[in-house]
Structure formats: C-alpha cells, structure tokens
Amino acid sequence: MEADDRRNGDSTSHNLRASKKPRLAGILTESDIRSEFAHHQTGVARINNGSFGCCPGSVLEAQREWQLRYLRQPDEFYFNGLRPGLLASRTVISDLINADDVEEVSLVDNATTAAAIVLQKVGRCFSEGKYKKEDTVVMFHCAFQSVKKSIQAYVSRVGGSTVEVRLPFPVNSNEEIISAFREGLEKGRANGRTVRLAIIDHITSMPCVLLPVRDLVKICREEGVEQVFVDAAHAIGSVKVDVKEIGADYYVSNLHKWFFCPPSIAFFYCKKRSSESDVHHPVVSHEFGNGLPTESAWIGTRDYSSQLVVPSVMEFVNRFEGGIEGIMNRNHDEAVRMGLMLANAWGTNLGSPPEMCVGMVMIGLPSKLCVESDEDATKLRSYLRGHYSVEVPVYFLGLRDGEEGVKDKGSGLITAYVRISHQIYNKTEDYERLRDAIIELVKDQITCQNLPSM
C-alpha cells in the first residue's frame, strides 16, 4: 500500500509492517474487538471514553514499529522517514475533514496546544496594538478549563476582555443555545468593542452537549466576529467533521479520544487565508517561519510515533461495518439507549435530547444523592471507581438564582449528571453496573455528605 511504501522509506529498510502484523481480513468479530482491547483493565466498567479515549492493540503495535524504526537509526529516520510519515497522516485527516489543502492541517499534541497557538496569536495582536484594549473574546462558560486558563494567560494579561456565554443546561433545542450565543455576542460588542475571537466547542466537555456549530459560526460571520476557533476536542470519530461546511478559521480535534490513536495527537486546521496568518507553534524550532504544519512537525527531539499511525487507524476503522461513520452511529445509538435506560431506572432525565448527543450522554443523578458541590461530584466519582469499579465522570450543576432546574421522579432537584460514553469496547453490563450502583446508594440512603471513606 502506498502509505506503507512512504512509511518504510527506501527499499533497503525493513518492511517491518509486513513481517510483523497479522493480516486479518474482513469485519472484526466480537472476540477480535475484545482482543484489541485486552490491555484494558478487566473488571472495570469503563464508561468514560470521552476523557482519555482508547487505542486498539493493532494500532499500538503499529506505533511500536514506528518507535523502533526511530530508535534503530534516529538520524536516518529524522532525515528520511519523519516528515513523509507525518504528511501521510495529515493527508488522511485532510481528506476526512474535507479541507481544501493538506497545508491547512497541522498535527499537534492535543487541543490544549492548539488553544495556546490561537491565543498566543490573539495576545500578540493585543500587545502590538492591532486590537484595542477591551476588545473581546467570547466563549461558553463551560469551555474546557485549560482553554479558559489559556485565555487568562494570553488575552486577559494583555488587556483583552472576555465574555462567557452561559450554556443552557439541561437543554432542549439548538434554538436555546443559539439565542444565548447571540446575547453573548451582543455583550461582546457593547460599548464599541470588537469581538476578535469566538471560541465555540463543537461538543462541550462538561456538561456534554453537541452544539449547532455551523449555525453558530454563521452568526459569528453575520455579526462581524473577526475569527472563530472551534474547539472540537471530542469531534473526530464522534460526529461528522466537514471544516468547509462549518466554516471556522481554526478547528482542532483530538484523535486519541474517539479516533483510536495512541496518546496523543490532534489535528489543527487553519483555514487558508491570502494574508499572513501569524500562527506559530509556541515551542519554536529551526522550522520557525516555515508555516505551522512544518513548525509543528519538528518541535525538537520527541517521540512523534502517535502522529504517524493515522493511516493504520484508517485501516482499523475500515474493518468495521460502515467504517468510522458506522462506528459513530452505533456509538450514538447505544449511548442514547443506555442513557434512556438509566434515566428510566433512576427516575431522572437526559441532559439533552438524543439529536444533541454524540457517543456521550448526560444523565441526571437521583436528587437523593445530594450532590451539592464540585467536591461532592469528585467524591462520588472516586467512590464509584473505588467501590464499584465504575469509571464515569460526575458533573455538578450549580444552578443560578432564578433558574428553576429539573426535578426527578421523587420531586427532588437534580443537581448532578453523569456523562456516559459508548465506544466499541463497551457492553450493556457496563452501564447496568452503574445503574445498580446508583440504585444501591439511594436504597442505602448514602449521600455525598455521608459517603463512606475509601
């Protein structure tokens, strides 16, 4: 295969791939899947794929081959193997996301790195007088904490102001989100300011909701927002990603969450513009000034192997019916099915309607658990991990004054949600274990205030 040839370089190098990897033909069976994830800890209901993702054994094997090739003769690899290998990965991604040009696609470690790149650039514009002090960056209040800190570090520090849009949650329709966002943009423009950057999650992390990102970007354009950065950490492998359709200036997604890559790799899309875009990788190497894809392809000696296995991941997902789309659809359907099962069992609700979920769903926890703070949520999560071997993140919903909130079947206020994920290695029993754990806690009148210490 072409990708192999490029990867293996000249004819004298070992064709490690052909010699080592068993050629499995056809669709993966149940037992194949179990075997691919045999390295996952058994006995754990691992229903949090959203946080750290997963990587199948065959992709780990491919990664190891890249690592060994480097260790074997690192100079030769640096001069002949690395960049072509990265280009192969970038090309696969570019095609997947419908970018115009592979030069729009850079590989970085993770979405956190991409945020630093965008925000450093915005910061420079403030520092160098291109933006006026008090011009704004608009984002959702539930933007990932690292992104918020990055804004503090690079934008607030130099006088930029921020506007946080409160995400309605639980949410019932896209319209609720769109109108909240419009309000946020108006605030951002108040007093003659310009909104220099809007940061929009494609899929928010906590609480987890699929946002109508195409509509939101359109509104940004209509309302004169200078640049739009879509933080789509969870997107690729969760939801269809068409960067042209979405129309953002910057778009980042992690591939180690839902796209089966080893930790860690993200693609960072920067729409081509006729003018100099002034985005740079913050770790400056001798490639500085040669364009972000080239800068990111060499940020000093490191293990780049996780960025080189993308073609192998394509092979992996194509062994599933419907390829990555089939996986996405099945994950979504199962997550929703399990979510409804849990909501029914607990007498609670889903955090958003099924069409606003991906392979992750928020389900209200029974009010009787008395989750009253972020610390309670963390305690409960640890307890579920330690006592029931269930790995699931818990979200505390701090209601604001005037917000009514949703009540559970017992008429208590729902203050917390679990975020369940479904990935190909999950089974119904995983969610049943969660269901029963919560039911038992409620039955035993355990609350966050009287959780037994571990």
Partner 1 sequence: MASLSPPEEATASYHHRHSKRYSSSSSNGVESSVSDFVKRPKISAPNSISSSEIESEFSHHDPAFARINNGSFGCCPSSILALQRNWQLQFLRQPDRFYFDELKPNISESRSVIKRLINAEHDDEVSIVDNATTAAAIVLQQTAWAFREGRFEKGDAVVMLHYAYGSVKKSVEAYVTRSGGHVIEVQLPFPVISADEIINRFRNGLESGKANGRRVRLALIDHVTSMPSVVIPIKELVKICRLEGVDQVFVDAAHGIGCVDVDMKEIGADFYTSNLHKWFFAPPSVAFLYCRKSSNGVATDLHHPVVSNEYGNGLAIESSWVGTRDYSAQLVVPSILEFVNRFEGGIDGIKKRNHECVVEMGEMLVKSWGTQLGCPPEMCASMIMVGLPVCLGVSSDSDVQKLRTLLREKFSIEIPIYFRPPGDGEIDPITGYVRISFQVYNKPADYHRLRDAIKELVRDGFKCTSLSD
Site for partner 1, rule CB under 8 A? 39-41, 44, 46, 48, 51-55, 60, 68, 70-76, 78-79, 109-113, 115-116, 119-120, 124, 127, 145-146, 149-150, 152-154, 158, 254, 256, 262-264, 280, 282-289, 299-303, 306, 382, 385, 391
Q: CB nearer to partner 1: give 216 or 384.
A: 384
Q: Least distance in Å: CB of 194 to partner 1?
A: 21
Identify the bridge partners of residue 228 per DSSP, sorted by sequence position: 198
The C-alpha angle 6, 10, 14, rounded to 5 degrees, equals 95
Q: Is the Cβ–Cβ distance between 381 and 393 less than 8 Å?
A: yes
Judged on CB neighbours under 10 Å (0-12, 13-18, 19+), 403 is exposed
Q: Is the Cβ–Cβ distance between 45 and 391 less than 8 Å?
A: yes
Stated length of the chain:
454
User: What amino acid occupies position 397?
Assistant: L
Q: Least distance in Å: CB of 19 to partner 1?
A: 15
Q: Least distance in Å: CB of 47 to partner 1?
A: 10
Q: Which of 56, 238, 208, 72 is nearest to 144 (CA)?
A: 208
- CA dist., res. 310 & res. 91, Å (int): 9
Q: Least distance in Å: CB of 5 to partner 1?
A: 18
Backbone angles phi, psi at 245, to 5 degrees: -60, -45
- Tokens describing residue 348: 């609670």
Q: CB nearer to partner 1: give 137 or 177.
A: 137
3-state secondary structure of 378: helix
- CA dist., res. 148 & res. 141, Å (int): 9
Q: CB nearer to partner 1: give 52 or 320.
A: 52
Q: CB nearer to partner 1: give 76 or 432.
A: 76
Q: CB nearer to partner 1: give 16 or 219.
A: 16
Number of helices (H), then strands (E), in the chain: 19, 12
Please state whether 449 falls in left (phi above 0), alpha (psi between -120 and 50) or beta: alpha
- CA dist., res. 366 & res. 413, Å (int): 8
User: What amino acid occupies position 363?
Assistant: I
Q: CB nearer to partner 1: give 92 or 265.
A: 265
DSSP 350: B
Pairing of strands 394-396, 416-421: antiparallel
- CA dist., res. 434 & res. 418, Å (int): 10
Q: CB nearer to partner 1: give 323 or 398.
A: 398
Residue whose entry in the numeric block shows the structure tokens 């945020």: 115
Cis peptide before 264 (omega within 30 of 0): yes
Identify the bridge partners of residue 140 per DSSP, sorted by sequence position: 165
Identify the bridge partners of residue 253 per DSSP, sorted by sequence position: 267
Q: Least distance in Å: CB of 138 to partner 1?
A: 19
Q: Least distance in Å: CB of 284 to partner 1?
A: 4
Q: Least distance in Å: CB of 123 to partner 1?
A: 9
Q: Least distance in Å: CB of 180 to partner 1?
A: 24
Q: Least distance in Å: CB of 282 to partner 1?
A: 3
Q: How much helix, strand and coil, in percent to the nearest 5, is found in the chain?
A: 45, 15, 40
Q: CB nearer to partner 1: give 41 or 411.
A: 41
Q: CB nearer to partner 1: give 48 or 352.
A: 48
Q: CB nearer to partner 1: give 54 or 93.
A: 54
Q: Least distance in Å: CB of 14 to partner 1?
A: 9
What is the longest distance spanned by two Cα atoms in the chain? 72
Q: CB nearer to partner 1: give 41 or 450.
A: 41
Q: Least distance in Å: CB of 140 to partner 1?
A: 16
